[in-house]
């Protein structure tokens, strides 16, 4: 079930800083108290394959997110200790040394289960015995949360599929344009391109002026 348009869960989760500090981070409070947007991205596991490419990609774009008043936070179900070990592993050895944003350690899957992004399933045999299937780690879920704590974008990739970081920058630009100007953003909209008023006339004018 989609969470877009709803408030992000108001819950504090353990996290690790790049300096090795144990933190508690509440995404809802990060947005509302600091009046900033948050991009929260979940990945399956530390010390894996696609995951470090994504963490480094978000790090490389960190300045662009900061320009947009957006805080980047990573998340998985690994422990703080494993996060810190990975943060101290060199990039050329599959590590994430150089990553500076915090990483949630949702080891009890408390938040991940609320969001419904854990690869797990339960079944019962004829005797009523419970059996578990799945990896019990999260899919590649991404949430964009605005300054009121409202989720304005969510996406969930299967585990083999890495994300396009630039698309999240575009979505933040589009949402910020809507916030500032009250206009709506058409397909493939980018900063500096024409937007529309939310009415039939404006849509017709836009389609007429942007036809191939």
Residue tagged 């150089």 (tokens): 98
Spatial contact of 15 and 71, defined as CB atoms under 8 Å apart = no
State the Cα–Cα distance between residues 74 and 98, nearest whole angstrom.
14
Catalytic entry in 27, 39, 40, 51 = 51
State the Cα–Cα distance between residues 87 and 45, nearest whole angstrom.
13
Choose among 175, 157, 160, 156: nearest CA to 38.
Answer: 175
Spatial contact of 15 and 105, defined as CB atoms under 8 Å apart = yes
CA 64 to chain centre: 15
Strand partners, 153: 144
Known catalytic membership, residue 185: no
Cα Rg of the chain (Å, integer)? 19
| Residues with catalytic roles | 51
């Amino acid at each position: 079930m989609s969470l877009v348009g709803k408030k992000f869960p108001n819950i504090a989760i353990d996290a690790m800083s790049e300096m090795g500090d144990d933190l508690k981070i509440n995404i809802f409070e990060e947005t509302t108290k600091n009046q900033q947007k948050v991009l929260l991205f979940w990945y399956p596991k530390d010390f894996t394959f696609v995951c470090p490419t994504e963490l480094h990609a978000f790090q490389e774009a960190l300045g662009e997110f900061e320009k947009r008043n957006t805080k980047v936070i990573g998340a998985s179900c690994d422990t703080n200790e494993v996060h810190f070990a990975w943060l101290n592993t060199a990039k050329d050895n599959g590590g994430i040394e150089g990553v500076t944003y915090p990483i949630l350690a949702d080891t009890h899957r408390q938040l991940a289960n609320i969001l419904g992004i854990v690869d797990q399933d339960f079944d019962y045999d004829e005797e009523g015995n419970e059996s578990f299937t799945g990896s019990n780690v999260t899919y590649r879920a991404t949430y964009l949360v605005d300054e009121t704590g409202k989720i304005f974008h969510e996406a969930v990739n299967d585990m083999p599929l890495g994300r396009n970081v630039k698309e999240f920058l575009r979505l933040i630009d589009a949402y910020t344009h809507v916030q500032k100007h009250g206009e709506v953003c058409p397909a493939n909209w980018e900063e500096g391109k024409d937007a529309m008023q939310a009415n039939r006339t404006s849509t017709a004018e836009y389609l007429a002026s942007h036809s191939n």
